[in-house]
Amino acid sequence: MNNETKREVISIYVDNQANVLARVVSLYGRRGFNIDSLTVSETTDPTISRITVVFKGTEQGLAQILSQTEKLEVVRRIFVLEPGASLFRELLMMKVKAEPEDLAHIKDIVEVYRGKIIDLSTDSMIVELTGEPGKIDGFIAMMSGYHISEVCRTGITGMGRGLDPDNENVQALPR
């Protein structure tokens, strides 16, 4: 088995009930899996939520994380989002302390990255940017010359390309 570590993105359908996130997170904590990011939200069916987990691990680690998670009673379906066949997005909000003379240049950078300035005050602005995690990293690097006051990233969420019949009717997924 391959011992290299690589980034994996996993999607999990779970019963939307109290403690469900705690169950997943505490499992990863006690099994020693290192989570890079985690997003969770309701699906179109309010009884089912979808969790996206990003973690770095080996092939053996991935197999363990999948089978341990699948054992949880609240888990309906778990699958890996393969990089070639999936789309990943992340949302960034960045607060920048901006001097009036910097405004034009910052606007240029934001435009190139197709971000939006969603708030402008006399001393600062907030930029919103959505994109692949790499693009977010690139934007943050480009902005590093300015005074970045706060940064907020949602973590990765993702979806496989094309229809997946298993995800059409999540309520019907077996326990």
Give the residues lining the site for another protein (CB under 8 A). 1, 18-19, 22-23, 26-27, 30, 60, 63-64, 67-68, 70-73, 174-175
Find the distance separating the first CA and the last CA of the chain, reported in whole Å. Answer: 30
* Shortest Cβ 15–another protein spacing (Å): 11
115-123: list long-range contacts, CB under 8 Å, 24+ apart: 115/139, 118/93, 123/97, 123/98
* Shortest Cβ 69–another protein spacing (Å): 9
26 versus 41: smaller Cβ distance to another protein? 26
23 versus 56: smaller Cβ distance to another protein? 23
Nearest alpha-carbon partner for 37 in 159, 133, 128: 133
* Shortest Cβ 40–another protein spacing (Å): 17
117 versus 173: smaller Cβ distance to another protein? 173
Ranges of H-type helices in 91-175: 103-112, 133-142
* Shortest Cβ 67–another protein spacing (Å): 4
H or E, element range at 95: strand 86-97
Structure tokens at 51: 């969790």
64 versus 130: smaller Cβ distance to another protein? 64
Largest CA distance in the chain: 59
